[in-house]
Structures are given as structure tokens and as C-alpha cells.
Chains A and B, each alone.
Chain A
Amino acid sequence: MEPEIQTEFIRGTSLWRDAWRRLLKNKLAVFGLIVVALITLASLTGPTIIKRTFGFTPDYIPIGQPKLVRSYPPFKGPDGEFSWKHAMGTDNAGRDQLARVLQGGQISLFVGIIATLVSLIIGVSYGAISGYAGGRIDNLMMRIVDVLYSLPYVILVIVLLSMFRSQTPRGQLILLFVALGSVSWLTMARIVRGQVLSLKNQEFVLAARATGVSAPRIIFRHLVPNTLGPVIVYATLTIPQVMLTEAFLSFLGLGVQAPFASWGSLTADGIQNIAIFPWQLIFPGVTMALTLFSLNFLGDGLRDALDPQMRTI
């Protein structure tokens, strides 16, 4: 009789597990991760919760309150007494500032994520196809990117936004997405192309070709997953970059328009009353800065975690 051999299967540590472990060791990155998670969660649920708890109208004005003449400071009621109702005070129209900031966070995060998704989809495919095709096609595709790159990014977006100025606030928002998305994929395309160029000469690509795998399949099933590390890192760093651009455009009055709010448009409103009602500027500004810092910390942490060799340099 054959002796029964006990084979215990040892789970090897995978790249992702290793990276996760390294990320958790990085205090700043963990801080960034927690802050980003909290702000995202608060933005998604906050406005509704506040509205329900304090009985606000859809515009975040307390129900039954007469039209206001002035803005309340934080934690103060109509007669200057302490109140939990408006933790960040109110704006000129009497809208609760906390709810507005969180609602603005929704738009800001949404803009960042959509533009990053566009950069992921267009940038990754474009770069991978260009790198894999090589030769003349690669040359042509990359020159197109160079031309787009050389156009001043912000001015391009400003021109786009003022040329196609939309009548409705919703249309303006969509236009903003298109404008930001159309320029955000360029760097991603370059990064992915560079990765693919070095990967495509590896033997596993030749092996895949030798087994009859078609070119699109090689690009998207074999090459793109191998570029995932740098892609994730760059995508994380794109979100704050796009959010900042959005804030900048909204601050100039080109981006998000009322009744929508974003951190950029809130600060733009706030700066008009900075001498009298400083909280109208401070709260959206600080929230935005905190989020951008956290996203950058997280992105840097991810880069170190996914590419440990980089850290020693």
C-alpha cells in the first residue's frame, strides 16, 4: 500500500500582500488612507444625515426660518447662543456650511475620480497599444500626445469651458468632466507606453505569441496587468491633481455653478466675505487642503509600497 503523503500547501506571499504590509508600516500613508476614507464616507452620507437630523430644507436652511440677513458663526444660533445646528456656521443665504462643504466634497471627489477613470481607460489603452505596436504607429501616436502636452493645460480647459459655455448648471458640470478628462490621460499614456516597451521584449510575450494569442489579447491580458503597479500609483496621484484644477477653475467661476457646490466654488464665495465671515473661507479651504495632502501621502505611500527599490534611491 502506498503511504499517504501529507502535503501541506504553503501560501506564498504575493506582491499585493507584501505591498499592503509595507503600506501599513508607512504612518503618513495610513493617515492619508484614513482621512480619505473618512472624508469620502462623510461626503457621501453627511448631507442627508444633517438634513434629517436638524430638519433642513433641500438647500440646508432650517425649516421655518425667516430669510436671513447675516451669516452665523460656527456653533451659534440666531441669537448668538451656543447651538449644534451649524457646526461650521452658515453662508450668506443661511445654508448650513457643514452640509455645503460635504456636498461640495461629493462633487470634488466625483470630478477627481471620473477624470482619473478617463485617464485610466484612455491613457492605459492608448499607451499600451502605442508601446506594443512600436515603429511608425508608436511614433505617430506619441507625437499626438506631445502636441497635446505642449498646449498649456489650464488655458486649454479655460478655452474649452468658455467656448462651450452651457446654459444649465448640470451641462456645465458635464462639460467640466469632459474638459478635465480630455487632458488628464496624457501622462498615463506615456507611463504605460514606457512600461510596455520594456515588457514586450520579455520572453513571456514571445511565448504568448508562439502559442497563437492575438495582439489585442496580449496587450490587455498579458501586458496591461503587468503595468498595474505604476498605474495605480499614478492614478492615486492624479486624483488630487485633478481636484486642484477643478477647484481652481471653479474659483475662477468657470467650473461648478450653483446650486451645485464644490470646494473651489465654496472658497470663491467665501473669499468675498473674508473680513467679516472668515469661516466661509476657512472651512472649505481646510477640508480641501486636508484631502489633497492625504491623497498625496497615500499616493507616495503606494509608490514606495509597490516599488520597494525606489525607496533606497
Chain B
Amino acid sequence: MILLEVKDLRTYFETEDGLVKAVDGISFQLQRGETLGIVGESGSGKSVANLSILRLVPDPPGKIAGGEVIFKGQDILLLPPDAVRKIRGRRIAMIFQDPMTSLNPFMKISKQLMEMTQLHLGHTRAQAYEHAVKMLETVGMPDARTRADSYPHEFSGGMRQRVMIAMALSCEPELLIADEPTTALDVTIQAQILELIKKLKQETGTSVILITHDLGVVAGMTDHVIVMYAGKIFEQAKTKELFARPGNPYTKGLLRSVPDPTAEQGKLYQIPGLPPDVAHLKPGCPFAERCERAEEICRREFPPFVELTPDHHSLCHFANEVYAESIESSRG
């Protein structure tokens, strides 16, 4: 069953530098209980795409210029603001990148957790407090009852991210959007937090959108992957398929840039150049300047979104060729 369907979503920012098309016509579907990974470099539009789903893009300068976000049959973009507020946190919850700044420094964490359920589930103070303690226990907070009345600065980064997760899940949302939930944490804590999200997802059946630039995280956590570049979806496939048989030169480049601890020492591959300035895109493929196999047509014409298999799409003039090569090398 389809939980969320995004169709041709466009979010633009008006800046002094011109119109920035941060998200430019992306479409995807998310099944109930599924985990979707969105990967891309900084500035590729992954965070903006997800803020657009909940209409949280700062306006001005941002504006959702078009498209549909259909959540359980309702287009969120057409709902009145009050109705959107009832969806936020109650049915779609978000976790943010930096747990250091995403908790209010002047409020006890119990208060911040209670705010959620008092607002959405109509809990009384006592009920909300009990629920907050229960949620803190669920996310593995030791000594939850005493620590509930602490302020955010009394916690470490990993613990704060646990609080954020407890907060996000306290109304049992149907969709959890995690925007780089582990980027600001060190590696061991990263693993714990990802394990926790995985475990809670299994227990509650929540769907998850995981935004990250860590391909290792994507491989371990997700069912489907979307690769974004310059506000566009470059490749979209099942996770296993994408890692085994990438159909886009950009994805290939990304996969080659992952350090391989078993490999001989040597220089780590790096995609040449920098992501393009989205305010001044040239007519051709936005990746053409950095692409190893770019030809004349790539600089002239915008590439088509090629269907490689019903589940696997790639935005490239040579998608079929790249895909064939990948199949070749995965056999060999």
C-alpha cells in the first residue's frame, strides 16, 4: 500500500543571485513499512525535498512552485495550514541532523516530550509525563525517570539524538523522516542510533525516509534508494540493485569514492570538480562537466529519465550502456 507519493515536486528559492531550483521535479513513492534512502552531495536538494513534504521550507525566500505530495490520499500541499500542523509530528515526524541545536536549551526534555502528546493526543499533564518517561525508556535512556527533568545541555550528543527520536516517535507517526540523523555523531554512537531506528521501525511498522550522504548507512538500512544531484533524481532503484548494478555515471562515481578498508593503500577516488551552482544551470546535463563519459550531446541536451527495469530508473543519455557495463562487471 502506498503511504506517500511525491509527484513532480518543485521547490524554488528566490535569491539575489537568481532563482535557485533546489528541488526540480522529483517524484517517488513510499510503501507502508518501507525504508527509503535519499543520498546526494551537500546542496543536492535532499533536505529541501523533505522539508517541502511537511511544508516547512522557509517562505520567503523559499516557495513550493509545483507538484503534489499525496499522503494517504490527501495532497498535503493543498491542505489549510491548521490541517498541516495536525499532520506534523502526529503522522509524519522528523529527526534533524544536529541534536545539539534541535532541542530547546531552556526547556526540560520532559516538557519538550510532553508538548507533543499534549498537543496531538490530548494527554493530560500526568499522562503526558508518564508517556514521556516510557518513550525515554524505549529509546534506551538509562534512569529515564530521573533524567527526564534534566535540561538538554546535561546530555551527550548521542543521548540528545535519542531524546529527539523519542520525541519523534511519541505519537506513533506513520512516517519518520530522518535528515542525516547520525552526521553529527561519532562512529560508535552512529551505529547505536541506526540500530535503534531499525529496531523501533520493526516494532512499530513506521515507514522511514532516511536522508544521508553516507552510502554505508544506506546499504545497511534501506529498501530503496534515490540518488539526487542538483535538485534532480539521478537514479532510483532497489538498494541491492543500485549497489550491484548502478545505471548512472554519477552513482558509479559515488560508489567508487567509498573507502574500502580491504583495498591496498592508495589514493581514494574522488569525483572531479564541484557540484554546479544551481542558480545558473546550463541547458545540458548538470553533471556533464564532471562526468568521465560525457559527450557532446550531454552538454547540449538535458538527459532523459530512462527506465532500465520497472524498478530502476536513471537520468542519463547513456543509461542503458552504463547499466550494461555494470551487469558485465558484476558478473565478471
Interface residues of A, Cβ cutoff 8 Å to B: 7, 9, 12, 14, 135, 202-204, 206-214, 221-222, 225-226, 228
Contact = CB atoms under 8 A, between A and B. Distances in A.
A9 B103 CA distance: 22
Given A12-B154, A203-B97, 11 more contacts: A9-B146, A202-B101, A203-B98, A207-B96, A210-B54, A210-B88, A212-B86, A212-B87, A221-B107, A221-B115, A222-B107
B94 interface: yes
A212 B151 contact: no
B103 A207 contact: yes
Across the A-B interface, give the 7 residue pairs with the lowest CB-CB distance, nearest first. Answer: A211-B89, A212-B88, A212-B89, A203-B102, A210-B94, A203-B101, A225-B106
B15 interface: no
B296 interface: no
Contacts of A228: 106
Interface in B78-110: 85-90, 93-94, 96-98, 101-107
Interface in B231-263: none
Contact of B115 (A7, A14, A211): A211
A213 B167 CA distance: 13
A12 B150 contact: yes
B224 to A, nearest CB: 23
B48 interface: no
Contacts of A213: 85, 89, 115, 119
Contacts of A203: 96-98, 101-102
B102 A12 contact: no
A54 to B, nearest CB: 51
Greatest chain B CB density within 10 A among A12, A135, A204 is at A204
A204 B56 CA distance: 13
A128 B277 CA distance: 35
A226 B105 contact: yes
Given A202-B101, A203-B102, A212 B96 contact: no
B63 interface: no
Nearest to B54: A210
Contacts of A225: 104, 106-107
Interface centre among A204, A208, A211 (most CB of B within 10 A): A211
Contact of B116 (A204, A211, A222): A211
Contact of B143 (A7, A202, A204, A214): A7
B285 interface: no
A209 B119 CA distance: 12
B164 interface: yes
A210 B60 contact: no
Interface of B: 54, 56, 60, 85-90, 93-94, 96-98, 101-107, 115-116, 119-120, 142-143, 146, 150-151, 153-154, 164, 167-168
Nearest to B170: A211
B171 to A, nearest CB: 9
A62 B87 CA distance: 74
A142 B164 CA distance: 36
Nearest to B97: A203
A207 B143 contact: no
In the complex, which of the residues B60, B102, B143, B164 has the most CB atoms of chain A within 10 Å of its own CB atom?
B102
A224 B231 CA distance: 36
Contacts of A207: 94, 96, 102-103, 164, 167
B104 A208 contact: yes
Contacts of A206: 56, 96, 102
6 contacts: A210-B54, A210-B88, A210-B94, A212-B88, A225-B106, A226-B106
A9 B145 CA distance: 11
A210 B56 contact: yes
Contacts of B153: 12
B104 A212 contact: no
A9 B115 CA distance: 25
A222 B111 CA distance: 11
Nearest to A134: B60
Contacts of B116: 211
Nearest to B86: A212
A204 B90 contact: no
A226 B150 CA distance: 17
A212 B85 contact: yes
A132 to B, nearest CB: 12
B88 A214 contact: no
B132 to A, nearest CB: 13
A222 B98 CA distance: 18
A211 B88 contact: yes
Max chain A Cβ within 10 angstroms of own Cβ: one of B89, B93, B104, B105? B104
B101 A204 contact: yes
Contacts of A12: 150-151, 153-154
Nearest to B82: A214
A209 B88 CA distance: 8
A212 B120 contact: yes
A23 to B, nearest CB: 19
Contact of B93 (A14, A135, A208, A211): A211
Nearest to A229: B106
A204 B151 CA distance: 14
Given A204-B103, A225-B107, A226-B105, A209 B96 contact: no
A222 B119 contact: no
Contacts of B93: 210-211
A209 B56 contact: yes
Given A12-B153, A210-B93, A211-B89, A204 B142 contact: no
Nearest to B88: A212
B137 to A, nearest CB: 14
Contacts of B89: 210-213
A58 to B, nearest CB: 48
A212 B90 contact: yes
A203 B180 CA distance: 13
Contact of A204 (B85, B86, B105, B120): B105
